[in-house]
Structure formats: C-alpha cells, structure tokens
C-alpha cells in the first residue's frame, strides 16, 4: 500500500481483494463504517467491516477473514454482521457506510 493512499482507500482495497475468498466461506463483505469513513480515525483506530451472511460460515471462517484483513491493513478489524444488528443501531451506523 502506498503512502499516498488514505486508510479508507487501503481498507476498501483490502475488502475488494478478500471478497472472493470470503464469498467462498459464505460471507459477503459489504463495506466500512465508523471513524475511518468519517475521517476521524486515529493511529489506534480499528477498521469496522460490515458483512452479510450468504451461506453457512463458521466462527473459524469469520476468524480467518478477520486475520487476513488485519494482516493486509496492519491494524485490528471488527466484523459487523448487518442481520444481527438492531434496526435502530443500524440506522445510526449505516449512515456512515462506504460500500466496497
């Protein structure tokens, strides 16, 4: 990743590159929410990645996706499942969604 890329650009690229592998595990990587999308990320901020379940992923599958994204980005990644979120919480978080 080049120094001229923003963290948001790096994260979107990582998601796009990881998408085929994630799909094979039953996960559709959607995009990013949180401080990175609002331009408020700090050096210790994590990357909040939104996903949808499209198959039958295991916890090991989700863990493998997290590890791969963390390796690519060099920072902590949190996966956020849209279907598990309460509608009022998603209404708040979804405003910041940047689709990959």
Q: Please, which residues bridge with residue 29 across strands?
A: 51
CA 15 – CA 5 distance, rounded (Å): 15
Residue 82: how many other CB atoms lie within 10 Å: 16
Phi and psi angles of residue 81, each rounded to the nearest 5 degrees, phi first: -80, 120
Q: Which residues contact 52 (CB under 8 A, 6 or more apart)?
A: 27, 28, 30, 81, 82, 83
| Choice among 48, 52, 71, 96 that is catalytic | 48
| Choice among 46, 52, 78, 96 that is catalytic | 46
Q: Residue 68 in contact with residue 94, Cβ under 8 Å?
A: no
44 annotated active-site: no
61 annotated active-site: no
Residues labelled as active-site residues: 46, 48
């Amino acid at each position: 990743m080049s120094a001229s890329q923003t963290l948001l650009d790096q994260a979107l690229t990582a998601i796009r590159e990881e998408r085929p592998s994630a799909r094979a595990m039953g996960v559709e990587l959607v995009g990013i929410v949180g401080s990175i999308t609002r331009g408020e990320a700090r050096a210790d901020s994590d990357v909040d990645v939104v996903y949808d379940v499209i198959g039958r992923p295991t916890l090991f599958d989700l863990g493998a996706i997290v590890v791969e994204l963390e390796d690519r980005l060099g920072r902590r990644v949190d996966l956020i499942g849209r279907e598990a979120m309460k509608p009022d919480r998603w209404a708040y978080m979804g405003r910041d969604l940047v689709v990959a």
